[in-house]
Copies of this chain bind each other. A is one copy, B any other.
Amino acid sequence: MAGKRRQAGVTMHDVAAIAGVSIKTVSNVINGYPYIRPETKERVEAAIAQLGYRVNISARNLRQGRTGMIGLAVPELSLPYFAELADSVIRAAERHGVIVLIEQTNATRERELEVLTSQRRHLTDGLIFSPLALGTEDRDLFAVDYPMVLLGERIFGGPADHVTMSNVEAARAATRHLLETGRRRIALIGAHEGETVGSAALRQQGYEQALAEAGLPVDPALIGEAGLWHRATGAEAMDRMLDAGTPVDAVFGLNDALAIGALHALHARGIAVPDEVAVIGFDDIEDAAYASPPLSSVAPGREEIARIAVDLLLQRVAGTAPAEPVEVITDFALAVRESTVGAGALVRPAEGAVVA
């Protein structure tokens, strides 16, 4: 038993022999070919059950040239946003009978380059790729000979299909929400200085637009750098800003992890949220609703992004997608919770008021 031929090693031939039919007939039964005599079908099915036969997918794949799997490349599953995205993509793919193979890039340039040319690409019919390290200058690398859908804000106008949301608009809405609740010293946590592409740049742009509309200047002291968008870096950026003595009455975390890190830092100093400082995040991960206080956030419509990406990719695989790369912009919503509007809004957070 140990090792070697772990599969019972049952093949179609065995089933055919027992059922007293040819291998072709077995194949027909398995693949739902309609013109089979019911009694033949029964015999075959009985033999399958008796032997515990299962199709060898490798053989089928080899024969068909397709694998029924798609790749999903994300930075890390331990980042809640990507875990939830993976969940959504798996469910969306499932509805099409397709399996998802997840790859972690750790957001390193090296691993992201590898994803594009890995041997794994041979194992999947297509790829949904959410890069974090590669950028505009690598755009040409995305002209690959397999179906690919890009997510995120690193590559625009590239040679592959792309699903994203209006980051600028969304960030502007979040900032405006803070302004509307009377905040004037709004810190931005998660900036990437010098970058002109990517979520950080776009969201900061929306932030600056909202300030400009309100006639407020951008105070560099309120711009908190954070290369990685983790809880820890959010807490550190918040700490630095507070240590510097910068007056702050609101925080816009460029994602929820950063915002939760900021909440943590504020809590540690005994600064009341939202009474002294309001906090809003971005991504609306599940954590947000259950933070203390519940965290307001921008909801990017993760389910929708996953669904569209999978549909698009499978169309590409089937050859039914448009010749030109498709660019899809999805909707967002503002999930307003206690961290920006105070205890007046003490609702069960899952239903946090959602405003378009």
Interface-lining segment among A18-26, A83-91, A195-203, A216-224:
A83-91
Which chain A residues (130-149) contact chain B, with CB distance < 8 Å?
145-147
Name the contact of A292 in the complex, choosing from B61, B77, B264 (C-beta under 8 A).
B264
Looking at A55, A80, A91, which has the most chain B CB atoms within 10 Å of its CB?
A: A80
Tell me the number of copies of this protein: 2
Give every chain B residue within 8 A of A316 (Cβ-Cβ): 3
> What is the CA–CA distance of A52 and B146 in the complex, to the nearest angstrom?
13
The answer on a CB contact under 8 Å between B122 and A290 is no
The answer on a CB contact under 8 Å between A77 and B67 is no
The answer on a CB contact under 8 Å between A55 and B119 is yes
The closest CB in chain B to the CB of A347 belongs to B268
- What distance in Å separates the Cβ of A340 from its nearest Cβ neighbour in chain B? 15
What is the 8 Å Cβ interface bit string for chain A, positions 98-121, against chain B (1 contact, 0 not)? 011110100000000000010111
Give every chain B residue within 8 A of A348 (Cβ-Cβ): 235
Residues of A in contact (CB 8 Å), total 72
Interface residue A6 (Cβ < 8 Å from any Cβ of B) = yes
Name the contact of A104 in the complex, choosing from B61, B87, B117, B294 (C-beta under 8 A).
B87
The closest CB in chain B to the CB of A302 belongs to B78
The answer on a CB contact under 8 Å between B122 and A55 is yes
Name the contact of A123 in the complex, choosing from B58, B145, B319 (C-beta under 8 A).
B58
Name the contact of A6 in the complex, choosing from B7, B119, B147 (C-beta under 8 A).
B147
B-contacting residues of A (Cβ < 8 Å)?
A: 1-8, 52, 54-59, 61-62, 65, 67, 76-78, 80, 83-84, 86-87, 90-91, 99-102, 104, 117, 119-123, 125, 145-147, 231-232, 235, 260-261, 263-264, 267-268, 286-287, 289-294, 316-321, 323, 346, 348-350
Pairs across A and B, CB under 8 Å, 16 listed: A3-B319, A7-B65, A7-B146, A52-B145, A54-B119, A55-B119, A56-B62, A56-B122, A58-B62, A80-B83, A83-B86, A86-B102, A232-B290, A235-B290, A263-B292, A287-B287
